[in-house]
A = this chain, B = another copy of it.
Amino acid sequence: MERLEPISYRDGETALTGHLARPAGKPRAAIAVFPTIMNSTPAVEAKACVLAEAGYLAMICDFYGRQPDGPVAFEWADALRADTGAWRARLRAGLAALREIAPDLRQAAIGFCMGGQAVLELARDGAELALVTSFHGLLETKAPAAPGSVKARILVCHGDADPLVPREHVLRFWEEMDRAGADWHFHGYSGVKHGFTNPDPPSGNPVVDYDASADRQSWAAMGEMLAEVLDQAARA
């Protein structure tokens, strides 16, 4: 696994630290990676390294400016998300930091759990991203996307047995995105729970479980969508 390089950036008064994985050659694109509610974790770092191995410049963004130690993360996350404007500003700061590192690369964003929710918030916010991919992300929002606001293509990879994201949320998300005129792909995996990309899930939490097939298929789908949007950009 490549070493991750710490990147200091700010959101207003808050000092944040990204973690950057560089590919061997010229990057194909720059990918902002939004972690889970636990902020950067080994599982997310591994994904950033896989992106770098595939030729992408990948930076794990920082939600809190510090690493939570256990359940305090839930308090921090609630505080961060309480104000939609502040929450989106925190996310945009990550994109801006990545833009500074690689001003000429196309950007995309992916995220896991709370990070999946984060990339959808960025899409709703009109971020200039070629693609956002949510892995077991939350689909609900306090500020539904306005018509015409979404510029990013969207891929949602969802465990159909995720207790945090029941089918009502899925249907509401489709309706929201259709009203906004967004271009979305939705992948649902039967019997699959929250956190399905993490091969080392926290024990004793019945909400989450690893699923090797959903992990493999969702990752491949993201790669194929990335290839498509970058091919299109190259032709444009």
Residues of B within 8 A of A224 (CB): 216-217, 220-221
Given the contacts A167-B171, A171-B167, A221-B221, A190 and B177 also touching, CB distance less than 8 Å = yes
Interface of A is mostly: helix
Q: Per-residue CB proximity of A145-168 to B under 8 Å, as 1/0?
A: 000000000000000100000010
Question: Judging by beta carbons under 8 Å apart, are A160 and B174 in contact?
Answer: yes
Residues of B within 8 A of A183 (CB): 190-191
Given the contacts A217-B221, A217-B228, A186 and B188 also touching, CB distance less than 8 Å = yes
Given the contacts A171-B167, A213-B228, A184 and B178 also touching, CB distance less than 8 Å = no
A174, A188, A228: which has the most chain B beta carbons within 10 Å?
A188
Q: Per-residue CB proximity of A178-197 to B under 8 Å, as 1/0?
A: 10001111111111000000
Residues of B within 8 A of A177 (CB): 190
Give the nearest-CB partner of A220 in chain B. B224
Number of identical monomers bound together in the oligomeric complex: 2
Q: Per-residue CB proximity of A198-235 to B under 8 Å, as 1/0?
A: 00000000000000011011001100110010000000
**Alpha-carbon gap, A102 to B225, bound state (A):** 34
**Alpha-carbon gap, A221 to B217, bound state (A):** 7
Which one, B184, B190, B221, B228, contacts A184 given CB within 8 A?
B190
Question: Judging by beta carbons under 8 Å apart, are B190 and A182 in contact?
Answer: yes
Give the nearest-CB partner of A158 in chain B. B186
Q: Per-residue CB proximity of A31-73 to B under 8 Å, as 1/0?
A: 0000000000000000000000000000000000000000000
Contact residues, A91-140 vs B (CB, 8 A): none
**Alpha-carbon gap, A157 to B217, bound state (A):** 14
Residues of B within 8 A of A213 (CB): 228
Residues of B within 8 A of A220 (CB): 220-221, 224
A183, A184, A189, A190: which has the most chain B beta carbons within 10 Å?
A190
Residues of B within 8 A of A189 (CB): 184-185
On A, residues with C-beta under 8 Å from B are: 160, 167, 171, 174, 177-178, 182-191, 213-214, 216-217, 220-221, 224-225, 228
A185-B188, A187-B187 given; 4 more Cβ-contact pairs under 8 Å? A167-B174, A185-B189, A185-B217, A186-B186
